[in-house]
Structure 1
């Protein structure tokens, strides 16, 4: 049942649990809306900024559907959308989709990457063998969004912040910082040509970025 007591719109008339999940979050853009809210509540225009291909009417419809499905809460007075516990529970689904995507060809990293998308991707692509026993705190500044990423006991915890306070902060867009994380180019080279900006301990930043690898089978 949805929040208003009504049954969700049926797309798949099956008793399969996967079909039930898709009845709730299977529409185009729905999971990407969830992705944009994964780390922090946002207003409508901020959500749309992370989804440059979506129209205002489609985003309105998806937010209404996700709110009715108890995946998103809408604070109407402030105009803020936030994930519910059920919505936050979709993080492993997004992570699993990222892992699966690396097993099939066709991924084009030159296309738009939102800050939230990069943060989720890094959680998937941390090299556990290298990260075990390491402790680190990294800052990421995307201009309109910022995050701190803490590595402890082989686990990453990502938190949205107003201004990162970390030994180093990497600044840029989702795409340029993805290049810093995943390309084979030394960070110093990317900084020298203006692809990314850094403040703080660049050696610590290089060591941190070495813990991530984007590998896929084709």
Structure 2
């Protein structure tokens, strides 16, 4: 363990590496805090906006624990929290959890979905076979947060931006855009229903969202 994690509470007194990982990031909300920071540093209230079920005191505790574990860094002068490299290395863990969860019954997509959660989900659910050879750039505007996705020959890269600059931009909430991307309705139908909005090349936007499929258990 690193020096700054020695004072953390030992949850599992085992030599197993999985136990060691859970000693560091196994508390409730911990990985979801990481999820909210995976694309960009944020202030406390912005992190909390992506975790509406967490209380301020619990979020404060998790941030302190993650900082002690070397997963999160805190710039006190700016009030900004960011992931360290060790924190960024948890993205494949979050993606693997998404893949595993799709095999399990009981998922309710009508519950709150944060913008960061949707971006991670789309990275997992890209149809690599259909995306091969394609080059597309997409913008996503969630109001307080925005992202760009660059698809290059089957490889999808996502980054947080201040203002999306792309041939098309999809706007809405995490939930409405999740239904836009994964649902059976076309983009035009979602726009006409007022569930989402879009600007730019709508034909390219439809082509882009058709590259994603959410596999659910029977």
Give the alignment's TM-score, normalised by structure 1. Answer: 0.98
Q: How does 1:31-46 map to 2 (within 5 A)?
A: 31-46=31-46
Q: How does 1:75-154 map to 2 (within 5 A)?
A: 75-154=75-154
Distance in 1 between the 2:21 and 2:152 partners?
Answer: 33
Please tell me whether the aligned partners of residues 73 and 84 of structure 1 are also in contact (alpha carbons under 8 angstroms).
yes
Name 2:199's counterpart in structure 1.
199
Name 2:69's counterpart in structure 1.
69
Note the C-alpha offset of 1:217.
2.4
Name 1:28's counterpart in structure 2.
28
Please tell me whether the aligned partners of residues 5 and 70 of structure 2 are also in contact (alpha carbons under 8 angstroms).
no
Please tell me whether the aligned partners of residues 5 and 68 of structure 2 are also in contact (alpha carbons under 8 angstroms).
no
Distance in 1 between the 2:2 and 2:81 partners?
Answer: 17
Note the C-alpha offset of 1:153.
1.9
Please tell me whether the aligned partners of residues 71 and 86 of structure 1 are also in contact (alpha carbons under 8 angstroms).
yes
Distance in 1 between the 2:78 and 2:200 partners?
Answer: 36
Name 2:158's counterpart in structure 1.
158
Please tell me whether the aligned partners of residues 3 and 70 of structure 1 are also in contact (alpha carbons under 8 angstroms).
no
Distance in 1 between the 2:77 and 2:3 partners?
Answer: 18
Name 2:56's counterpart in structure 1.
56
Long gaps (5+) in structure 1: none
Distance in 2 between the 1:19 and 1:155 partners?
Answer: 33
Please tell me whether the aligned partners of residues 40 and 82 of structure 2 are also in contact (alpha carbons under 8 angstroms).
yes
Please tell me whether the aligned partners of residues 132 and 154 of structure 1 are also in contact (alpha carbons under 8 angstroms).
yes
Distance in 2 between the 1:94 and 1:30 partners?
Answer: 11
Distance in 2 between the 1:153 and 1:68 partners?
Answer: 39
